[in-house]
Amino acid sequence: MEMPPIPFRLCADARKDKLQSFNDRAEIRWFGFRGSFAEPAWAEIEFERVETGALGGGGTAAINGGAIAAGFDAAFVLAGLGHYDCGTVVTLELAVQFLSLARAAQPLVFRAGVLRSSRGFAFARGALIAQGTAGAAFATATAMIAPSQSSGRAPHAVRNT
In tens, the pLDDT along 26-69 reads 999 999 999 999 999 999 999 998 877 778 866 678 899 999 99
Is the bond leading into 40 cis (omega within 30 degrees of zero)?
Answer: yes
In a domain, 55, yes or no: yes
Q: Is the pLDDT of residue 126 over 90?
A: yes
Residue 126, domain member (yes or no): yes
- Contact yes or no for 37/82 (Cβ under 8 A): yes
Residues of the domain holding 46: 12-147
Whole-number pLDDT of residue 76: 98
Cα separations in angstroms, 108 against 10, 33, 44, 139: 26, 11, 10, 11
Question: Does residue 4 form part of some domain?
Answer: no
Biggest CA-to-CA distance, the chain: 57
| Average pLDDT, integer, range 94-112 | 93
Other beta carbons less than 10 A from residue 98's beta carbon: 16
Q: Give pTM, 2 decimals.
A: 0.88
Would residue 98 count as lying in a domain? Answer: yes
Decide if pLDDT at 155 tops 50: no
- Beta partners for 47? 33
In a domain, 128, yes or no: yes
| Structural domain includes residue 54 | yes
Asked if the structure places residue 155 within a domain, the reply is no
Would residue 41 count as lying in a domain?
yes
Supply the DSSP symbol for 131: T
Rounded CA gap, 84 and 13, in Å? Answer: 14
Number of domains the chain contains:
1
The enclosing domain of 41 has a CATH number of: 3.10.129.10
The confidence band for 104, taking pLDDT boundaries of 50, 70 and 90, is confident
Tens of pLDDT, residues 74-91: 999 999 999 999 989 999
3-state secondary structure of 121: coil
Instruction: Point out which residues pair with 42 in neighbouring strands.
Output: 38
